[in-house]
Structures are given as C-alpha cells and as structure tokens.
A and B are shown apart, each in its own frame.
Chain A
Amino acid sequence: MSEAIAKEPVRAADPAAEKASLKEFFVVSADCHVNEPNDVWAARVDKQFQERLPRIKVDEKGRKWFVAEGIRPSRIREAPRDESVSVNEFVEKSERPHLDRTRGAMFQNQGGINEDRYRDMDYDGIDCEIVFPNKGLVNWHSPDPALNTAMCHAWNVWAYETFGGHSRSFPAACVAPADVEAAVAEIEWAAKHGFKSIMLPPLMKEGKGYNLPEFDPIWAAACDANMPILFHAGTGKDPRSATGNGGALINYVVHAMNTVVQPTVELCVSGVFDRFPKLKFATIEAGAGWVPYTLHAMDFGNYAHAFWVMPKLKYKPSEYYHMHGHSSFETDPIGVELRHRMGVDNLLWGNDYPHIEGCWPHSEEQLKVWGKGLTKQEIAKIIGLNSARLFNIDVPKQFAIA
C-alpha cells in the first residue's frame, strides 16, 4: 500500500465551492486511469519476460518511442504536433480549458499516485473511482498469451500494492482471456485480494469471440467472485488501423469506441446469460448512444433470421442487456436522450480522469449539459448509484434511494 494514499472515508472531501450540485449526489466515476511507474512490469514479472516488456526507446534524433510487442511503435509527444511551437507557448496560448487545471495533462503529468490524485477528485466532486491502466492498456497486445498473462498479473500486483484496501479507488483486475485456465486463476487471485471488477479486452488478437463456450470457465469464475466484467474501449487490438487523412477520427470512432459492440452482442445472443444468470458486464468509455440501436438490431435479427439463430434463447437479446449489461459515457447527449430504451439503471458515468478527451475537471459543467431534463433520481443513478450497485461500493445513507 502506497504511503501517499490514505484510506479516506468514502465521501470525498468538500468539492470546490463552485461544484455545489455535485454535493447533492454520490458520485462514482466508472472510468478513471492511473499513470503507473515505469517499472510496473519489470519489477514484478519473471526473468524470462524481462526483455520483452514494453519500454521507451530513443531514436537517432533523440525522439522517444514507446515500443511493445504486437503494436506499432508509438512516438511519445511531449510537445504539440507543430514542434515549432514550444510547450510553454502552446500552454500559454491554448484555448483548451483543461490546461488551466491540469498543469499539463496534455503533456501527461497528471493522474499519478499521490495526494494530487485525491485533490483532483475532490475538485471535480468525485467520491469514488474505478481505475483502469494507462501503460497497462497494452497488457493484451502481444500475440503471446503467456506474456499477456504475466503482464496482467504484474499490473494487478502493482494495483494491489498501490490501492489495496482503499475506500475511494478501485482498480479493475486485468485478465488475459486467451489462456482460459490462467485467466480463471487470475480472477481467483483478484477476488482474494479485494478487487471489485475484471477488465477483459473487447477484441482478442486471435479473432475469437466471447460467444464461444470455451470461455465459460471465465464467466463461472467471475460469477463465483461476484465481479462484473468490464470491456474498455480500444483495448486488445491496436486501434490505429487507419493512417493519413482523417485517421485520428477513424481510429477513435471505428477502431476504439466501436470495439465494445462486439462483446456486447456476443454475450447477449449466445446463451452465456442462460448458463450464467449472475454474470454482469459493462462497456467502458464507449458512450451509450449505440446501445439502443444495437439492442434493436439484435432483436430484429433474432426474429428475422430465426431459422439460423442458435441457440434458441429464453429471452430476447435486448432483455439480456437490460438484465446484465451497462455502458459508461463521459458526455453523450444521444445516449442520455435514449436512456429509457436502454434502461436508466444500465447507464454509468465516468470522467476519464486524467485523459484530455474526458470531462475532468469540468464534470459538473458537463452534467448540466447531459443532465438537462433528467429527474434528480435519474441523475443520482447515472452519476453514481448504478456504479455503486454494480461494483459493490457502499453508499452513504444520505445518498441512498429507497
């Protein structure tokens, strides 16, 4: 357990004075990230994997590259893309409001493990957070399941050492599904060490789908541990499929956000929930507007293609989502507008701290936008109580809805 993190009471310290409305709710961000130390893996994996771990390399011009198995090397940018502009000048002239608060989240200095993390949460009115990796987002990229398993376990050990027993930060346990037996062992380890959720990649490099019965032991272990499965957008495969013009948006919309549709459909149409009625899952950081359409498409296909549909299901596919599924968003007016089609109880919210595309440190301002027209009870559920229920987080009495 890091000495930097005290075991605070569940309720956040007073949000900043101007965050008055967030004081009305118990706020759980279902999507936060943590900047791990450089040795998150090296200090914790077996010697046989040491040389294969992701690491920084420097080229002939002194530029830094993040190099990991299974993905294209990533240039680490510590300055704006236009390198004729200095960092200081960029920050000074930038109209991005984030930069006022982050002191450089754009340049990746925020979101570590120290008291600043909790100051940032307090400032944004966040009581509790579900914590996902930053560096560890590549835990599943190698084509070698043994390396993925080793990296996931090392990340989990680090997360336990860092957040174990904490009452505001709950890391998701990373689990590599390609080796099912090892995945089950990791889930059992995570349950024993107090983790509240399991992170699986939405897409697997092997091209397999979660509809296949070979993954049943994973669902059984998750049910035994009473932990939901989380599919975080853009993990499991390199989302940078597109290059050149429009590439950033193609990769964001198609190869990152859209990846969670596949496991959602795989689970809802394959009979998994008939075999594992206690299993819960959530898609993370992919918005929610896609859910109502996907539910409609599954139900229509279930009817129109009935001749080919196997296995025959007890319920309509959409009903499995209503009973088992959840989806988190940061600010998604479409998803919120269609909330009754997917179920208010199925919506989660997260601020994606400390990422620049997230809504930290302006969660309250964003709430005023997406929460317009919602009842106080609906907001209370979406902004915290649904996550509290899914992740088994105790809710202070004054915030509980009867």
Chain B
Amino acid sequence: MTAAPIPCTRHDRVGTDDPLLRRVLAGAGTRHGCELTPLLLALYMHEGQLLATWKCRKDLKSGSAALDAAWHAEEGEGTILHLVPSDAEYDYQEEVMENPFQD
C-alpha cells in the first residue's frame, strides 16, 4: 500500500482514501519501479470512469502503462482516461452538455 497521499484536489464522490485507488497506485509504483504519485496531479473516479491527470506529457508517457496494468490487475472496469492540463482555447456549449456519448 502506498504511503503517499492520493493526489486528488476535487471534492467528489470518491475521496482521497479510496482503498481501490491506493492499491492501484501501489501496484503501479511496483511495476514502474518507483512511486507514481509525484508524477500525478489528480487521480479519481467519476461515475465509474477513472481519470488520471499527469503533470506533463512526459510523465504520462512514463507512467500510464504501469497505472493501466495495475488497474486491470485490480479488475477495474473500463480504461483509464489519461490527461495532461492544457491552456488551449475552448468553448463550452449546451450541445456539449447534452452529448450522450461516453466517448
């Protein structure tokens, strides 16, 4: 079990003490050879979708495979959505809000 706190800055259904996420992070660290926590900005579930936000693309490339493997080892459902922050311009419209597809 990882000793480091799960990086999670949001207040959502699953908090930072989720035992499943702790096991996944620990397993990923073992596979990767060192803790992944320093590479992550956030790791949380939202309605069954696990989202991992990495600090940068390099960190994503370095750690995502280990996190995927640990997730599947724990029989987590679906695939992890691996993300990095972007400053890209964007808009957000109602049509986007009503999009029924899980993508």
Interface residues of A (CB under 8 A from B): 33, 35, 38, 51-52, 54-60, 64-67, 69-77, 108-109, 111, 134-135, 137-138, 142-144, 147, 234, 238-240, 242-244, 246-248, 250-252, 255-256, 355-357
From B41, B81, B87, B91, name the one whose CB has the most chain A CB atoms within 10 angstroms.
B91
Indicate which residue in B53, B97, B101 contacts A243 across the interface (CB closer than 8 Å): B101
Minimum Cβ distance to chain B for residue A214 (Å):
22
B99: A residues at CB distance < 8 A: 74-75, 240, 248, 251
B84: A residues at CB distance < 8 A: 57-58
Q: List 20 A-B contacts (CB under 8 A).
A: A38-B89, A51-B9, A52-B9, A52-B10, A56-B86, A57-B86, A60-B60, A64-B86, A64-B90, A69-B10, A73-B46, A73-B81, A75-B103, A109-B91, A111-B91, A135-B92, A147-B11, A238-B97, A355-B95, A357-B94
A54: B residues at CB distance < 8 A: 92
11 new A-B contacts at CB < 8 Å, known A56-B88, A135-B91: A38-B90, A55-B86, A56-B85, A59-B81, A60-B60, A67-B51, A73-B46, A134-B92, A135-B90, A137-B94, A240-B99
Decide if B47 touches A72 in the complex (CB within 8 Å).
Answer: yes
B98 at the binding interface (Cβ < 8 Å): yes
B96: A residues at CB distance < 8 A: 66, 74-77
From A54, A59, A147, name the one whose CB has the most chain B CB atoms within 10 angstroms.
A59
Interface size class of B (residues with CB under 8 A): 35 or more
B17 at the binding interface (Cβ < 8 Å): no
Provide the bound-state CA to CA distance between A75 and B87, in Å. 15
Interface residues of B (CB under 8 A from A): 9-13, 41, 46-47, 49, 51, 53, 60, 64, 81-103
Decide if B93 touches A108 in the complex (CB within 8 Å).
Answer: yes
Decide if A134 touches B91 in the complex (CB within 8 Å).
Answer: yes
> Which residue of chain B lies nearest to A135 when distances are taken between CB atoms in the complex?
B92
Total cross-chain contacts (CB, 8 A)? 131
Decide if B46 touches A234 in the complex (CB within 8 Å).
Answer: no
Given A57-B83, A60-B60, A73-B51, verify A256-B11 contact (CB < 8 Å). no
A248: B residues at CB distance < 8 A: 98-100
Given A137-B92, A251-B100, A355-B94, verify A144-B11 contact (CB < 8 Å). yes
Provide the bound-state CA to CA distance between A240 and B51, in Å. 18
Indicate which residue in A56, A147, A240 contacts B97 across the interface (CB closer than 8 Å): A240
Provide the bound-state CA to CA distance between A239 and B98, in Å. 6
Indicate which residue in B64, B89, B101 contacts A60 across the interface (CB closer than 8 Å): B64
Minimum Cβ distance to chain B for residue A232 (Å):
9
